[in-house]
Chains A and B, each alone.
Chain A
């Protein structure tokens, strides 16, 4: 909006209503007076008219069909970081790198005895190769935390795997976990929130949503604690939620409840590698 001598500019909604013929006569007349004077609004109106025109050229129809075929081949399951490269050379190098990484990822997947038959198996395969966070997702096998500088995607071609997730009709929980593995909280959290509202959402869903809140930008830290407690209400023996609840208390500067949760975890799971981490954390809390 700009306030020039021809008054307030028209909102997008008003322009669309004008095109649709939904405006009151008085507002329509006022809009037309403004449109005569305002180049920007006329340009916007023309823009919407061009986008919304019903006529489709043969070239457009072909392009849409091509894009549709690409979509259905699920080659573009995951948005790439578009617009990142300014020169063709860098773009070429990036494509070569992606192909190389894709090749390695395919080799890794093929080296497994059998191909994953479900989206949850795909996520499990990824979890077996890479530990994204200190906190613990449901059914996550233990891996040591590797501190890396810069990106830590472990060389996994997520774009390629995203196609597989689409092909295997991943549900909201698995899509949420998939994006969470990539630390893409903007996509992961909406999926996990949908999964949480589904009938029969279990402790694993609440735990994973809690992990997303805990490891995200910190703005929903308190909700992380609620999700872990919710998971434990549903299943008091769900060990990952106890592990994560202890981490949550540590991060919210509550050493005493954190120590209580670590001890509770050690009672539930005294011999695993996860227990080793819990044991290592306890002395630091009692100081």
Chain B
């Protein structure tokens, strides 16, 4: 992965265009070489987008713990249903690939947030007996 502080470099000159690589992965879901390339090229972006979405949604500040789990969920979404999401990609530019990965990452974060909310709601349910006992006391 390539970083320089200030800019995230994820594409080297001469490499397969990002949009083509994404489309090829959608066509060859079990091609290990291709998916290794995918991981090398896009995994940093997926981590970055998940991290930003978690922070912007104020879900949690310390995201390093949760991002790998959510990244795995991103991969599952990309390949599930015979790679339907990947095969729906119609973009041609690098920005469109970034936007595609950002949308999938964001949707995973949204679902994670919904899960947290519903669990909090469930946790707040107080059995009626306890509530009555509280009133009497």
Contacts and interface: CB of A to CB of B under 8 A. Distances in A.
Q: Answer yes or no: do A and B interact.
A: yes
B15 to A, nearest CB: 17
A58 B99 contact: no
A82 B51 CA distance: 15
Interface string B64-77: 10111111110010
User: How many A residues are at the interface, by size bracket?
Assistant: 35 or more
Contact of B103 (A12, A57, A60, A68): A12
Interface string A71-94: 100011111101110100000000
B3 A61 contact: yes
Interface in B31-49: 32, 43-44, 47-49
Contact of B56 (A51, A187, A190): A51
Contacts of B112: 82-83
Contacts, number: 112
A83 B116 contact: yes
A172 B120 contact: no
Interface in A99-121: none
A19 interface: yes
B58 interface: no
Interface residues of B, number: 48
A64 interface: yes
Contacts of B1: 64-65, 68
A56 B44 CA distance: 11
B69 A79 contact: yes
Contact of B71 (A51, A71, A169, A197): A71
A76 B32 CA distance: 20
17 contacts: A50-B56, A57-B5, A63-B63, A65-B3, A67-B64, A67-B68, A70-B68, A75-B68, A76-B68, A82-B115, A82-B116, A83-B116, A86-B119, A172-B30, A187-B76, A190-B76, A190-B79
Interface of B: 1, 3, 5-8, 29-30, 32, 43-44, 47-49, 51-53, 56, 63-64, 66-73, 76, 79-82, 93, 95-96, 98-99, 102-103, 105-106, 112, 115-116, 119-120, 123
